[in-house]
Amino acid sequence: MFSGEKLLKKRVFPRDVLNYVMEILSGRRTLLIVGGRRVGKTSLLYLIAQELISSGKEKVFYFDLEFPDDLDLVARGPEDLRNIYGSGIYLIDEIQYLPRPDKFVKLVVDHFPDIKLVCSGSSSIAIYRKFQDSLIGRIHGLELYPLNFREYLRFRGYEEYTYFLPEWDLFSDTPSITSLPDVIHREYLLYLKNGGYPEVVLTGSSEEKVRFISQIFSLYAKRDLREVFALKKETEFEKFFMGLAGTVGGLCNLNEICRDAGIQYKTGKQYLFLLKELFLVKVLTPLTFNVRDAIRKMPKVYFTDTGLLNWARGTMLQKRPDGSVLENAVYVSILRRLTPFDRLYFFHKKHGGEVDFVIKRGEKILPIEVKLSGKITPSFRNFIRREKPGRGIVVTLKDSGLEYVDKTPVYFVPACII
């Protein structure tokens, strides 16, 4: 358990989500921060603690439930904790280790108004299978991803260059980008290759980066799979994982992946589910107007970190990433930008072309295409003419500009500002 001065001494880098978190903490609900291993959840808890301590308004206490002593303390319940430490804000890391985290949260929210909870967890199924419907309205969930590019620049010591990366709404105000410093383009290529795990960004040599990402999968993922899901066939699971990486940028044919990995289709579905629950991959469904078609059509799968994707493909030492890696990075960037009113899809028709991403916000739609260099493909052009969106976006490696399809503006923007 840490509190006060010990928390202030923790050296951490700022994360963009901190301001949003502090707004959430003004209410009564418990904040639950979820995300994969090593994405920075613990550091975010330290940041929250330092922000709160600096304001001087409340006492702050930090518990890491991977340590048995902390787990025993918290498992005693909120009344005992308050009797020992008093009122304040309790930061609880890896809350899924509690036998009944749902009961603990419900008790705090309903009966201890002088205690505020901020919790984290690394396995959504381990958390949510222990949480009951009674927690609806008592929890505010937040998924933390690896570093975005702005955060990456800060970690790399290029804070001053973050001012070239504007904040903007994809639906309404595309910035005019004339040129960006060469260092931004250079660092973005490294970001695509190595990804955004904080320790990878801070690690020096390429060999160390590869070793750390290997540990993300070999150490943490497999350990969680063994402990939480009782998965024993690690070799076939690894083959499935590598095969899945090869589908990024295209449709995910699960039958083919399972056949190549030597496993049954039912097992492959389970593996994909487990990878999603460990926040290592995301599944994107197609835009369709027919529910049955949506069930039958193949999805796309993306990784939550391009460094992990490149490691799975064995391409971390390549100097220049291919278009599918750029597409994966843009997908994760879009996820971070979505509001509660947005839904993200891709568009694919057997004889009608495809569009990489389509965001729906109410009645509005926004098509987004990802290309290494700036050009409007025939399928993107046809989609705009048929659906008549208010605008379209082509995300490129570094090109910018504006063209029109009939009267619809299509903005070309570098991926680093998405």
Residues 335, 271 within the same domain = yes
Which of 373, 381, 39, 63 shows the shortest CA–CA distance to 201? 39
Q: Which of 114, 143, 172 is the last residue of a domain?
A: 143
Q: Residue 13 phi/psi, 5° resolution?
A: -90, 150
Residues 132 and 222 in one domain: no
Q: Based on the fold, state whether residues 363 and 349 are members of the same structural domain.
A: yes
Reply yes or no on whether the pLDDT at 122 is more than 60.
Answer: yes
pLDDT for 4 beyond 80: no
Percent of the chain topping pLDDT 70: 92
Please, which residues bridge with residue 4 across strands?
A: none
Query: Which residues contact residue 235 at a Cβ distance below 8 angstroms, ignoring those fewer than 6 apart?
Result: none
pLDDT of residue 28: 81
Q: Which domain holds residue 266?
A: 149-417
pLDDT value at residue 294: 46
Choose the final residue of a domain: 116, 143, 170.
143
> By three-state DSSP, how is residue 285 classified?
coil
Cα Rg of the chain (Å, integer): 22
Higher pLDDT among residues 409 and 131, named by residue: 409
pTM of structure: 0.92
Judged on CB neighbours under 10 Å (0-12, 13-18, 19+), 294 is middle
For the ranges 36-45, 96-105, 226-235, 287-296, which has the lowest average pLDDT?
Answer: 287-296
Q: Are strands 392-396 and 408-414 parallel, antiparallel or unpaired?
A: parallel
98 pLDDT above the threshold of 70:
yes
Q: What integer pLDDT is reported at residue 290 of this predicted model?
A: 58
| pLDDT at 134 exceeding the cut of 80 | no
With b for 16 or more beta-carbon neighbours within 10 A and e for fewer, the 57-83 pattern comes to eeebbbbbbeeeebbebbeebbeebbe
Three-state secondary structure call for residue 335:
helix
| Signed CA dihedral, 318, 324, 327, 328: sign only | negative
- Predicted local distance difference test score (pLDDT) of residue 295: 46
How far apart, in whole angstroms, are the C-alpha atoms of residue 261 and residue 258?
A: 5
Note the pLDDT tens digit of each residue in 141-174.
899 999 999 999 999 999 999 999 998 889 888 8
Alpha helices in 197-322 (DSSP H): 198-202, 206-215, 222-229, 234-245, 254-261, 265-277, 291-296, 306-313
For residues 269 and 29, give the distance between their C-alpha atoms in angstroms, rounded to a whole number: 34
Instruction: Please count the structural domains in the chain.
Output: 2
Beta-carbon neighbour count of residue 27 at 10 Å? Answer: 10
Residue 337 in this model has a pLDDT that exceeds 70: yes
Residues 156 and 107 both lie in one domain = no
Instruction: Clarify whether residues 189 and 119 are in a common domain.
Output: no
Q: Provide the terminal-to-terminal Cα distance of the chain, rounded to the nearest Å.
A: 39
Tokens of 344: 């993200």
The pLDDT tens digits for 247-275 are 999 999 999 999 999 999 998 998 898 89
Given a cut of 90, is residue 220 above it in pLDDT?
no
386 lies in the same domain as 240: yes
Give pLDDT, residue 159: 95
Residue located via tokens 């205690």: 115
pLDDT digits (tens, 9 = 90+) for 223-243: 767 766 666 677 888 899 999
* Whether residue 111 sits in one domain with residue 184: no
> Could you tell me the CATH number of the domain that includes residue 133?
3.40.50.300
CA atoms within 13 A on the CB side of 38: 22
Indicate the pLDDT class of residue 349, thresholds 50, 70 and 90: confident
Question: Token pair of 339, please?
Answer: 């509001």
Q: How far is CA 260 from CA 89, 238, 301, 309, 372, in A?
A: 50, 12, 17, 18, 30
Q: 1 versus 228: which is more confidently predicted?
A: 1
Q: Which of 25-29, 120-124, 312-316, 341-345 has the lowest mean pLDDT?
A: 120-124
Per cent of the chain over pLDDT 90 is 66
Question: Nearest 5°: CA angle at 51, between 164 and 114?
Answer: 140
Same domain, residue pair 324 and 347: yes
Yes or no: say if 53 and 4 are a contact pair by the CB < 8 Å rule: yes
Task: Please say if the pLDDT value at position 129 is more than 90.
Answer: no
For residue 359, name the pLDDT band (cuts at 50, 70, 90).
Answer: very high
From 128, 143, 158, give the residue that closes a domain: 143
- In which band, very low, low, confident or very high, does the pLDDT at 374 lie, cut at 50, 70 and 90? confident
Q: Report the pLDDT value the prediction gives residue 61, as an integer from 0 to 100.
A: 96
Q: What is the mean pLDDT of the chain?
A: 89
Same domain membership, residue 195 and residue 133:
no
Q: Is the pLDDT of residue 84 over 50?
A: yes
Q: CB under 8 Å to 49, separation ≥6 — which residues?
A: 2, 7, 8, 10, 60, 62, 89, 91
Q: How confident is the model at residue 78, as a pLDDT? A: 95
The SS3 of residue 282 is strand
Residue 293 clears pLDDT 60, i.e. is over it? no
Class of residue 115 by CB neighbours under 10 A (exposed 0-12, middle 13-18, buried 19+): buried
The C-alpha atoms of residue 373 and residue 412 are separated, in whole angstroms, by 9
Residues 119 and 158 in one domain: no
State the pLDDT at residue 217. Answer: 83
What pLDDT is stored for residue 125 in this prediction?
63
pLDDT at position 390 is: 93
- Shared-domain flag, residues 138 and 185: no
Q: Are 187 and 136 in a shared domain?
A: no
Taking residue 348's Cβ as centre, other Cβ atoms within 10 Å add up to: 20
CA distance 129 to 297: 29
What is the mean pLDDT of the segment spanning 385-414? 94
